[in-house]
């Protein structure tokens, strides 16, 4: 018997994680959302393993997109994302994942649902719904059960939960595709995103921001905003006044001139749980900027 238990513990477990009313296609659900976003479902335990797919009971028109984001728990940014074009008619639609999930819990939410996408839920116990009114910064519980399931090809049997995912990112991670732009016009007196926001969980330790030659270029402020808070915010003039030069570690001023080209290179590590933005602001005329950043995301 002991040998058999040991054998069972190492065999692959193929399973379906779900909490809904067991609806079967093509039944029309009693309640459903029309193009609703930032509502999700939280599975709190037993989710580590090889995810084959996520399923949503939904319908569409074969053209409009439904996108899911998922993470270990609410208030984290997305660790993964999947999109499909739901077909017409109610059914359990598959969002292929085919990737290892290294966490004991799993939170899945609807990030995008275009106009002709409907997805189902009910208001029966046990509830596991959550909603956000601030694009995922905070989440409130809902008395609903979203019809979202997870298909495992290798769910692990009773692992010790993975911890330390916020303050000590030692779990396998992967660098994302970097962002690089040139000749970005920035208006006067408006805090503006220089790069597209980085949504997820991770860190960035290389950011380069260059303002091109123009009157007042040195007064352009550079901001690195982590989860809505300024982790770095200063202009080139102040950096020069503080004595930052081309050899200063962490924050390096590789070029500086009044009314000329100014470049700052940030190799300081900025960590974020949900979203990181590289932003700029100036009060002396419109400016033109170039930028580069390369984040590392938790996965």
Q: Cis link prior to 126 (omega < 30° from 0)?
A: yes
Q: pLDDT grade, residue 3 (50/70/90)?
A: very low
Is 169 contained in some domain? Answer: no
- Domain-ending residue, one of 163, 187, 214: 163
124 and 70 fall within a common domain: yes
Contact 67, 2 (CB under 8 A): no
The answer to whether the beta carbons of residues 249 and 268 sit under 8 Å apart is no
- Residue 5 included in any domain: no
Q: Which domain holds residue 179?
A: 174-298
The CA-atom distances, in angstroms, between 11 and each of 18, 21, 129, 155 are 22, 30, 32, 10
The reply to whether 68 and 139 lie within a common domain is yes
Which of these three, 139, 163, 187, is where a domain ends? Answer: 163
Res 164: pLDDT: 47
Residue 173: the pLDDT is 54
- What would the mean pLDDT of 23-48 be, rounded to a whole number? 97
Total domains in the fold of the chain: 2
- Is 99 among the domain residues? yes
Interacting residues of 172 by C-beta distance below 8 A, sequence separation 6+: 102, 299
Strands 229-235 and 221-226: antiparallel
Longest dimension (CA), the chain: 81
Q: Do 116 and 192 belong to one domain?
A: no
Cα–Cα distance measured from residue 72 to residue 109, given in angstroms and rounded to the nearest whole number: 11
> DSSP characters for 57-92?
EEE--SSS-EEEEEESSTTS--SEEEEE-PPSSSEE
Q: Does 188 lie in the same domain as 293?
A: yes
Question: For residue 219, which phi and psi values (nearest 5 degrees)?
Answer: -95, 5
Coil, helix or strand for 267?
coil
pTM, to two decimals: 0.81
Q: pLDDT digits over 231-258, tens only?
A: 999 999 999 999 999 999 999 999 999 9
For the cut 90, the answer to whether the pLDDT of residue 122 exceeds it is: yes
Cβ neighbors of 10 (< 8 A, separation 6 or more) are none
**What pLDDT shows up at residue 299?**
75
CATH number of the domain that residue 71 is part of:
2.60.120
Of 163, 197, 228, the one marking the end of a domain is 163
Please indicate, yes or no, whether residues 114 and 214 belong to a single structural domain of this protein.
Answer: no
Q: Are residues 72 and 157 in the same domain?
A: yes
Q: Are residues 181 and 80 in the same domain?
A: no
pLDDT by residue (tens digit) across 71-120? Answer: 999 989 999 999 999 999 999 999 999 999 989 999 999 999 999 999 99
Q: Is residue 48 part of a domain?
A: yes
Same domain for 36 and 156: yes
| b/e code 8-42 from CB counts within 10 Å (16+ = b) | eeeeeeeeebbbbeebeeeeebeebbebebbbbbb
Residues 6+ apart with CB under 8 A from 220: 186, 211, 235, 236, 262, 280, 281, 282, 287, 289
91 and 114: one domain?
Answer: yes
147 lies in a domain?
A: yes
pLDDT digits (tens, 9 = 90+) for 132-173: 999 999 999 999 999 999 999 988 776 555 444 444 444 455
Tell me how far apart the alpha carbons of residues 111 and 152 are, in angstroms, rounded to a whole number.
22
CB 25 within 8 A of CB 90: yes
141 with 65, same domain: the answer is yes
Residue 168 lies in a domain: no
In a domain, 230, yes or no: yes
Query: 208: domain CATH number?
Result: 2.60.120.1390
Establish if 3 belongs to a structural domain: no
Q: What is the pLDDT of residue 168?
A: 46
Q: Based on the domain organization, do 185 and 291 belong to the same domain?
A: yes
Question: What is the tens place of the pLDDT at every residue in 283-293?
Answer: 999 999 999 99
Instruction: Kindly state the tokens that stand for 21.
Output: 């009313």
Looking at the fold, whether 123 and 262 belong to one and the same domain comes out as no
């Amino acid at each position: 018997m002991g040998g058999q238990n040991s054998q069972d513990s190492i065999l692959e477990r193929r399973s379906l994680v779900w909490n809904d009313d067991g609806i079967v296609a093509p039944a029309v659900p009693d309640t459903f959302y029309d193009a609703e976003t930032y509502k999700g479902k939280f599975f709190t335990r037993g989710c580590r393993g090889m995810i084959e797919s996520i399923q949503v009971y939904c319908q569409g028109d074969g053209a409009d997109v439904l996108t899911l984001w998922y993470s270990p728990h609410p208030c984290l940014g997305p660790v993964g994302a999947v999109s499909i074009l739901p077909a017409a008619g109610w059914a359990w639609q598959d969002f292929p994942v085919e990737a290892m999930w290294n966490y004991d819990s799993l939170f899945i939410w609807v990030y995008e649902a275009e106009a002709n996408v409907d997805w189902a839920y009910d208001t029966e116990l046990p509830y596991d719904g959550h909603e956000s009114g601030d694009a995922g910064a905070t989440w409130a519980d809902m008395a609903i059960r979203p019809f979202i399931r997870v298909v495992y090809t290798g769910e692990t049997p009773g692992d010790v939960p993975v911890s330390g995912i916020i303050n000590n990112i030692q779990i396998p991670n992967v660098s994302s595709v970097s962002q690089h732009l040139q000749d970005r016009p920035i208006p006067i007196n408006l805090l503006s995103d220089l790069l597209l926001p980085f949504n997820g969980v991770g860190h960035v330790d290389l950011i380069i921001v260059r303002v091109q030659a123009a009157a007042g270029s040195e007064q352009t402020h550079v901001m690195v905003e982590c989860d809505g808070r300024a982790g770095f915010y200063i202009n080139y003039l102040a950096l020069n006044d503080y004595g930052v030069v081309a050899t200063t570690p962490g924050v390096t001023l590789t070029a500086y001139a009044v009314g000329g080209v100014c470049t700052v290179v940030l190799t300081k590590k900025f960590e974020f749980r949900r979203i990181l933005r590289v932003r700029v602001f100036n009060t002396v005329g419109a400016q033109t900027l170039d930028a580069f950043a390369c984040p590392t995301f938790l996965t």
